[in-house]
Amino acid sequence: MVRLLATILITCCLTSQLSAQASKDEGSAGQTTAAPSAKTQFPLDAFPEFSAVMVGSASPGDDGESYIYRSGKLVRSPGPQGHSFVITDLTTRESYAVSALGCMHDSHPYLRSAPFSSMAPDFTVERSASGQETVDGHSCKIEDVTLTSPKLLKPIKLRFWEAEDLQGFPVKVEFIRPAGRNGVIHYKNVVLGPVDPTLFIYPKSCEKAPGFQTPKPKAAPGTKKPAAAPAGAQQH
């Protein structure tokens, strides 16, 4: 099983690397100057239930096509070569790769769960309008989104083409990076609404992936270690 799911684990880690490498938007020719917006909600939070066909990923040059489903905090997409599926928990940012041979648990979001997993609870969101364009037959409002956090080396820059006939669901998403290394995703056959809950069932007990990082428990507020006794001091 480890051998079969190794590629999945690599792509899970790649998601974190791509986020860390995200840098300032260098802009594109012909784009309208961005106007500040007062909105601070992550745009994709408005779509907790949907299914679609996803073409591409956050990885530059990827043109793979696969189904993607979301139900609340869970996102499901097929694993490499269709031999498995991966469920990413958007709250904990952990992933569960499931195949006929078993289940593997990784502490990173799966590559194909981005941009939904690009957002984290402690990230700050900045949004700005950037024009309008027709994409795949949909009239879209273009919006630039910047995610910042002390945990990020650099901000994550995203551009959304939000289809007006799909309640603003983005039919195109671009991950803005320097030197033209932009990842691009197109979404088609989008269906907004509840998804079959059985698609998100995974084993309660999964083998931990190599290098799994267990979150360290936070110390209780005000808890301090007792000071060490000075050398030579008598104990009572």
In a domain, 120, yes or no: yes
Domain span at 59: 2-208
CA distance 144 to 37: 10
Q: For residue 221, is it within any domain?
A: no
CA atoms within 13 A on the CB side of 109: 25
Average pLDDT over residues 69-90: 92
Interval 17-29 mean pLDDT: 39
In a domain, 135, yes or no: yes
In angstroms, how far is the first alpha carbon of the chain from the final one?
Answer: 58
pLDDT digits (tens, 9 = 90+) for 103-113: 999 999 999 99
- Look at residue 37 in the predicted model and tell me its pLDDT: 41
- 215, part of any domain: no
Residue 180 pLDDT grade (very low, low, confident, very high; cuts 50, 70, 90): confident
CATH, residue 172: 2.50.20.10
Confidence band for 79, pLDDT divided at 50, 70 and 90: confident
pTM of the model: 0.75
Count of structural domains, the chain: 1
Rounded Cα–Cα distance for residues 126 and 48 (Å): 20
Q: What per-residue confidence (pLDDT) applies to 216?
A: 55
Q: What pLDDT sits at residue 35?
A: 42
Poorest-pLDDT segment among 2-6, 89-93, 96-100, 179-183: 2-6
Q: Average pLDDT over the chain, rounded to whole?
A: 81
Any domain includes 223 = no
Q: Is 6's pLDDT higher than 50? A: no
- The mean pLDDT value for 173-194 works out to 93
More confident residue, 219 or 57: 57
